[in-house]
Amino acid sequence: MKKILIFLTALAFIVVKLPLCYAEKIILKNGKVIKGKIVEEHDEYIKVDIKGIALTYYKD
């Protein structure tokens, strides 16, 4: 019974953390790497959600 409880706790932890680990990478011209979820992508800019804050990066 104790092994099942430990297994279920570990499984719940993995399921909760998995979406937080998923991120897309954007490499800027200066070499800086931006990790986050792409919310919008247009010809002129990309909007990235990083920890709940939406940042806009313009394409040149």
pLDDT on residue 22: 64
pLDDT on residue 27: 87
pLDDT on residue 50: 87
pLDDT on residue 14: 73
Per residue of the chain (60 residues), give pLDDT as tens.
Answer: 888 888 888 877 776 666 555 678 888 889 999 888 889 998 899 999 988 899 999 987
- Nearest partner of 14 among 23, 26, 25, 6, judged by Cα: 6
Apex 23 CA angle, 32 and 56, nearest 5:
55
Distances (CA, A) of 12 to 4, 20, 37, 51: 12, 14, 23, 21
pLDDT on residue 47: 93
- Nearest partner of 27 among 19, 18, 36, judged by Cα: 36
